[in-house]
């Protein structure tokens, strides 16, 4: 069984009767603020998923499909993105004066 909690570790966001995420379809899933630190998410379908604010540090997203996923505020520091499918929209941050 795999359980995914929010970044604070209190709210259970997802519970699946699986042993790994490989080839799992999480398209359009609401995973806002999910904690995926060091998770193996290779080959996962995350098309159009809401990953706003998700912690994906050091996650293996190789060969995953993130097309259309909401990654606003997500932390991808050190994530493995080899052959990851994604459409990137650059939103400039303009400092307030």
Note the pLDDT tens digit of each residue in 31-65. Answer: 999 999 999 999 999 999 999 999 999 999 999 99
| Distances 70 to 28, 48, 51 between C-alpha atoms, Å | 10, 7, 5
Could you tell me which of 80, 97, 78, 74 has the C-alpha nearest to residue 89? 74
| Residue 29: how many other CB atoms lie within 10 Å | 20
Among 5-14, 67-76, 86-95, whose mean pLDDT is lowest? 86-95
CATH number for the region 1-89 comes to 2.160.20.80
How crowded is the C-beta side of 24, counted as CA atoms within 13 Å? 18
Give the tens place of pLDDT for each residue, 12-25. 998 999 888 888 99
Predicted confidence at residue 93, as pLDDT, reads 66
Predicted confidence at residue 10, as pLDDT, reads 84
| Distances 16 to 19, 46, 80, 97 between C-alpha atoms, Å | 9, 15, 23, 47
Whether 90 has a pLDDT exceeding 70, the answer reads no
pTM for the complete prediction? Answer: 0.84
Query: What's the CA gap between 83 and 43, in Å, rounded?
Result: 10
């Amino acid at each position: 069984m795999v359980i995914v909690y929010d970044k604070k570790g209190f709210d259970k966001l997802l519970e699946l009767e699986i042993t790994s995420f490989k080839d799992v379809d999480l398209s359009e899933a609401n995973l806002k603020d999910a904690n995926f630190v060091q998770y193996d998410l290779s080959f996962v379908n995350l098309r159009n998923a809401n990953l706003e604010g998700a912690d994906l540090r050091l996650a293996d997203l190789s060969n995953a499909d993130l097309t259309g996923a909401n990654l606003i505020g997500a932390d991808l520091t050190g994530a493995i993105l080899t052959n990851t499918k994604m459409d990137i929209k650059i939103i400039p941050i303009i400092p307030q004066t």
